[in-house]
Amino acid sequence: MKNLQSLVRPNIWALEPYSCARDEFKGMEAHVFLDANESPYNEPLNRYPDPLQEKVKKILAPVKHVRPSQIFLGNGSDEAIDLIYRIFCNPKQDNVVAIAPTYGMYKVCADVNDVEYRSVSLSEDWQLNPKALLAATDSNTKVIWICSPNNPTGNDFPREVLHEVLMSFEGIVVIDEAYSDFSTQQPFRTVLDNYPNLIVLNTFSKAWASAAIRLGMAFASEEIIALFNKVKYPYNVNLLAQEKACALLADRPTLDGWLVQVNREREHVLPALAELPIVQEVFPTDANFVLVRVTDANRVYQYLIGKGIVVRNRHRVQLCNDCLRITIGTRQENNELLGALRFFK
């Protein structure tokens, strides 16, 4: 890896971050808080929340097999995606490289930040060629984006392939593991210490069933996390989200149970989809959704809408012509979908 300073935008490296009242005072003994221009009424919502979410991170660290200092928490992992551009990429000068098809926000945030986005097509069977990815980089490439399991294709990339990218690229490699809980492959967040250039993204929105609280995670070296903390909004995760996260993590059996249930349903849905006459291909998946090629995606999509069932039409996405992305739901929801598809003409 290149030296970290040479990868970071000079203005960010030099940035003097905003120092908020709750940063400056961390003692336990005070009981009169007249430092932050808060109202004295409406406890506890009158107080600004912990800017660094230390309680959540302390509980989360052993669950994710990382240290608290290796965690950034944000308003969804989408916040972390945007911050990565703001930390590393000089607008109009630097570029990033990503696979295609993949999660759309990497490109949207590149466009917002005026950073060139280079995409490298996956193969027809959704595999990633590390040599092609590296060939698309140049001396201004700051970040490589890899989503594994990949959205919308659903597949994991083999660990050796990701290892090769991490070892041969000298900039930052982001592996978005939003869906890794649904996979049997060992996630990269557990080997953070082996890769100083690695940032792993996780979220409360998928296996932990809490998209509404908007809580995303980035795991990386302490030095990289310190940069996230410098650039983020001071109170980027609200009190209600922090409290809800702690409550969720206090009940791991329920979280684990949801995951088991979704994976079990996936085993039920995949073969049933494969048997439908309109289905041409069910792509292998390691996520809580499956990409399916059908005879006419636009027509099937509209037909399902007419039945009150919404799936994601990916027909217009590169390499995904006539593909629908279908999320795994409850047994009842899945059966309703399968039943409707059986009657499609």
Torsion over CA: 305, 103, 207, 157 (sign): positive
| Interactions with ligand PMP, residue window 93-122 (CB under 6 A) | 103
d(CA 279, CA 296): 9
Work out whether 211 is an interface residue with ligand PMP (CB under 6 A): yes
Listed ranges 70-78, 85-93, 118-126, 239-247: which one lies at the site for ligand PMP (CB under 6 A): 70-78
In this complex, which beta carbon is closest to ligand PMP, that of residue 103 or of residue 228?
103
DSSP for 155-213, written as a single string: PPPPHHHHHHHHHH-SSEEEEE-TTGGGSSSPPGGGGGGG-TTEEEEEESSSTT--GGG
Half-sphere exposure of 156 (CA within 13 A, CB side): 17
DSSP 77-138: HHHHHHHHHHHH--TTT-EEEEEES--THHHHHHHHTT-EEEEEEPPTT----HHHHHHT--
Minimum distance from residue 248 beta carbon to ligand PMP (Å): 14
Query: Collapsing DSSP states into helix, strand and coil, what is residue 233?
Result: coil
CB of 111 to ligand PMP, least distance (A): 17
Among 53, 77, 153, 197, binds ligand PMP (CB under 6 A): 77
Q: Which stretch binds ligand PMP (CB under 6 A): 22-30, 73-81, 132-140, 192-200?
A: 73-81
Strands 312-313, 141-147: pairing is unpaired
The minimum distance between CB 149 and ligand PMP, in angstroms, equals 8
Nearer to ligand PMP, 178 or 273 (CB): 178
Q: Is the dihedral of CA 193, 194, 197, 198 positive or negative?
A: negative
Closer of 76 and 171 to ligand PMP (Cβ): 76
Q: Which one, 90 or 203, has the nearer CB to ligand PMP? A: 203
68, 101, 154, 216: residue in contact with ligand PMP (rule CB under 6 A): 216
Residues 166-205 that bind ligand PMP (CB under 6 A): 176, 178, 203, 205
List residues binding ligand PMP (CB under 6 A).
Answer: 76-78, 103, 147, 151, 176, 178, 203, 205, 211, 216
